[in-house]
Structure 1
Amino acid sequence: MSKGTLLYAQSGGVTAVINATASAVIETARARKIKVLAAKNGILGALREELIDTSRLSLAQVRALAHTPGGAFGSCRVKLKSLEADGDKYARLLAVFRAHDVRWFLYNGGNDSADTALKLSQLAEASGYPLTCIGVPKTVDNDLVLTDCCPGFGSAAKYTAVSVAEAALDVAAMAETSTKVFVYEVMGRHAGWLAAAAGLAGKNAAQAPHVILFPEVVYDEATFLAKVKATVASVGYCVVVVSEGLKHANGKFVAESEGSVDAFGHSQLGGVGPLIAATVKDKLGLKVHWTVPDYLQRSARHLASKTDLAHALAVGKAGVEFALKGLNGVMPIIVRTAEKPYRWKIRAEPLRNIANAEKKMPAGFIGKDGYSITAACRRYLEPLVRGEAAMPYAADGLPKHALLKHTMIGKRLPPFKG
């Protein structure tokens, strides 16, 4: 039996398939006779020495994670600062790792998590502690650089495109005597990938969405209202998709809440959908409905993409394999190798090339009008939402999810004070 323990942690906003990655991590490690601990509530659990013994989970429970949304072990929005500013926290993490013989650390998250994994790998190396750190990709925003896409995005994209297409049929049916404009808000602080995914719902200018407001395109109210008015006149109704990260020319978010920031220090966005809807109603006098799906975008496992599920499982498996090979400070990224048919592979990429960088929509993916997607964008997106990721349903008609009862291992260190 190999010596050492593998610690897995989830970070940031969860997705419809992040638990599939966890499932692959646990099953792959078990096959190598490696004990797997999971940090309760992400990096907080590691700091607090609140560690879950996954060996107490049956194989059926582990595999059921693959069709369970949310974060089975708990996640958190906690960003560690530099090694100098948060030295005590990094030292605490190493102390916990030493206490439980953790030799491999897999941090499943986005950009900030990649940065933390990189810093931990550097600190462990400087300290002479044999620790291999792997950043495992996950985000619905699809904003990690170098990887072709991020596990979690494909399913959120599929949910968005399907929801917009179905809502558009509803609006079209009622437009003669009721709603003329429907506004659908999507996630995406700086990158408009989910907004773009909504574009898959329509194949021509007459089909919804008629207007997409990207964070990469400066919001011009007059031009936007003219577009909405013209669409209602020609089509009979207008479906607008707006990214939460929509900005004014001065760089300020349209929906920014004054003086409010989240745990990562980002401005708290207050709901751009209702604001855009109110603008249309007040300025054009049209009847408007709006929706903010919010968490529904990232938790809809019942509508997950088969491609996305395959990606999530693959990065989990590869993360363990890379760790056991001693590939320290890397991330298993997805590389697109062919378009027709769509093919891909996994490659190890150094975290130093990924951390603190952000992938936005290429200019060539946004239509010349600034409100639509191009054929190139459609070619990129379509493979990512393909296929249905089947899941079991109970006799009551509701999905079967893995609802785990965690067993914590005993603590060996004084309580964390931080």
Structure 2
Amino acid sequence: MPSGTLLYAQSGGVTAVINATASGVISEARARKVKVLAARNGILGALREDLIDTGKESAAAIRGLAHTPGGAFGSCRYKLKSLEADRARYERLLEVLRAHDVRWFLYNGGNDSADTALKVSQLAAEFDYPLTCIGVPKTIDNDLAVTDCCPGFGSAAKYTAVSVREAALDVAAMADTSTKVFVYEAMGRHAGWLAAAAGLAGQGPDDAPHIILFPERAYDEAVFLAQVKKVVAKVGYCVVVASEGIQTADGRFVADAGGGKDSFGHTQLGGVASYLAGKVKDELGFKVHWTLPDYLQRSARHIASQTDLLQAQAVGKAAVQFALAGRNATMPVIRRTSDKPYRWKIESAPLDKVANHEKKMPAGFLRKDGFGITANARRYLEPLIRGEAYPPYGRDGIPAYVTLKNVAVKKKLPGWDG
């Protein structure tokens, strides 16, 4: 039995399958007789010494995490700054790890989380503390560098494509006497991967979505409105999918919600669909409906992708294997080995190649007119939404999701109010 404890924490916005990764982590650690603690509410739980003993959970509950959305141990949006600027917090974190004999730290998140895991590994080395830090990939935005795709994206992409297909059928049925334009807002601050996934909803040139607005292309209002008018004249209705992060040529977010910055320093976005709908109604006179699915995109476990589920579990299992093998400051990433048939495997990548790098869509994935995806994009995206991974349902017709006990371990240090 390896000596020491493994600490797992979830970070940032959760996904439909982040708990599947947690299940993979805990199951693999249990198979290797390693004790697993979980930080309540992400890195804040570690700083507060608010740690959960996952050993109190039944094997059935841990298996049930694989089909349960949300973040079973709680997540947080809390960014640690540089080692110099946040020295006291990093040292507090190391103090907590020492107190509970944590020798392996797994941080499940996106770019900022990879950066935090890297910095913790550097601090541990400075203090000569034997700690192996692993970043575990997760994000619905699909913008992590190195990895072919991100666990969480495939399920959100499937939800997006299916929702757009179904909504388009609704609009088509009503277009003669009612709604002519429908606007769907997809998550994606700087990278339009989710908006691109909506393109899988249709096959032919007149299929919805008829217009996709990507953050990788500058938003030109006059060109957009002209295209809407053209599509309605030809097809009879128009379905628009817009990324929340679209910007004008001068770099201004179209959907700046006016809410300032979040804890990661990001502009608070929201409302691009309502903005576009208003412009279409006022300028073109069409009846418009719009939707902001928001959290629904990332919590829709009922329509998760089987590919995504398997990859989420695989990175969790690999993270434990990498940690116990002493592969410090690394991340398990997905490498595609074949498109037809679709095949993939897990490899290791150094955290400094992932942290704070952002993967945007290749130019070859965007149609020349900027309003749709290419065959190359379709070839990349389609396998990621493939397969159904329905959760079990109860007699009440609701998915049988699990809720953990989340029993806290006894604290050993003075309280932290930082």
Question: TM-score, normalised on structure 2?
Answer: 0.99
Q: Residue 348 of structure 1 aligns with which residue?
A: 348
The runs of 5 or more residues in structure 1 that have no matched partner are none
Asked whether the 8 Å contact 2:56–2:405 carries over to 1, the reply is no
Cα distance between partner residues in 2 of 1:115 and 1:64: 30
2:205 is equivalent to residue 223 of structure 1: no
Cα distance between partner residues in 2 of 1:277 and 1:248: 17
SS in 2 for 1:124: helix
- Aligned ranges 1:231-270 → 2 under 5 Å: 231-258=231-258, 260-270=260-270
2:73 is equivalent to residue 73 of structure 1: yes
Q: Residue 213 of structure 1 aligns with which residue?
A: 213
Offset, 1:259: 6.0
Offset, 1:345: 0.4
RMSD of Structure 2 on Structure 1 (CA): 0.6
2:61 is equivalent to residue 42 of structure 1: no
- The percentage of aligned residue pairs carrying the same residue is 72
Q: Residue 389 of structure 2 aligns with which residue?
A: 389
Q: Which amino acid aligns with 1:296?
A: L
Q: Deviations over 1:72-128 (max 9, x none)?
A: 000000010000000000000000000000000000000000000000001101110
Q: Which amino acid aligns with 1:141?
A: D
Q: CA separation of 1:277/1:313 partners in 2, compared to 1, >3 Å: closer, same or farther?
A: same
Q: Deviations over 1:175-219 (max 9, x none)?
A: 000000000000000000000000000101210000000000000
Q: Residue 292 of structure 1 aligns with which residue?
A: 292
Offset, 1:263: 1.1
Q: Residue 136 of structure 1 aligns with which residue?
A: 136
Q: Residue 124 of structure 2 aligns with which residue?
A: 124
Q: Which amino acid aligns with 1:229?
A: K
Offset, 1:406: 1.3
Cα distance between partner residues in 2 of 1:321 and 1:331: 11
Q: Residue 281 of structure 1 aligns with which residue?
A: 281
Q: Residue 376 of structure 2 aligns with which residue?
A: 376
Q: Residue 102 of structure 2 aligns with which residue?
A: 102
Q: Deviations over 1:129-183 (max 9, x none)?
A: 0000000000000000110000000000000000000000000000000000000
SS in 1 for 2:134: strand
Q: Deviations over 1:261-310 (max 9, x none)?
A: 11111111131110011010111010000000000000000000000000
Q: Residue 2 of structure 1 aligns with which residue?
A: 2
Cα distance between partner residues in 1 of 2:404 and 2:100: 23
Q: Deviations over 1:208-260 (max 9, x none)?
A: 00000000000000100010000000000000000000101111100113461
Cα distance between partner residues in 1 of 2:238 and 2:2: 61
Q: Residue 330 of structure 2 aligns with which residue?
A: 330
Q: Deviations over 1:37-81 (max 9, x none)?
A: 000000000000000000000000000000000000000000100
Cα distance between partner residues in 1 of 2:390 and 2:289: 32
Cα distance between partner residues in 1 of 2:69 and 2:270: 25
SS in 2 for 1:52: strand
Q: Deviations over 1:3-47 (max 9, x none)?
A: 100000000000000000000000000011000000000000000
Cα distance between partner residues in 1 of 2:222 and 2:271: 20
Q: Which amino acid aligns with 1:222?
A: A
The runs of 5 or more residues in structure 2 that have no matched partner are none
Cα distance between partner residues in 2 of 1:107 and 1:76: 12
Asked whether the 8 Å contact 2:257–2:271 carries over to 1, the reply is no
Q: Residue 197 of structure 1 aligns with which residue?
A: 197
Q: Residue 158 of structure 1 aligns with which residue?
A: 158
Asked whether the 8 Å contact 2:301–2:390 carries over to 1, the reply is no
Asked whether the 8 Å contact 2:17–2:69 carries over to 1, the reply is yes
Cα distance between partner residues in 2 of 1:285 and 1:119: 54
- Aligned ranges 1:165-204 → 2 under 5 Å: 165-204=165-204
Cα distance between partner residues in 2 of 1:291 and 1:268: 18
SS in 2 for 1:347: strand
Offset, 1:391: 1.5
Q: Residue 114 of structure 1 aligns with which residue?
A: 114
Question: TM-score, normalised on structure 1?
Answer: 0.99
SS in 1 for 2:95: helix
How many residues are treated as equivalent by the alignment?
Answer: 418
SS in 1 for 2:347: strand
Q: Deviations over 1:345-382 (max 9, x none)?
A: 00010001111100001100000010000000000000
Offset, 1:390: 2.7
Q: Residue 12 of structure 2 aligns with which residue?
A: 12
Cα distance between partner residues in 1 of 2:196 and 2:373: 6
Q: Residue 363 of structure 2 aligns with which residue?
A: 363
Cα distance between partner residues in 2 of 1:94 and 1:339: 43
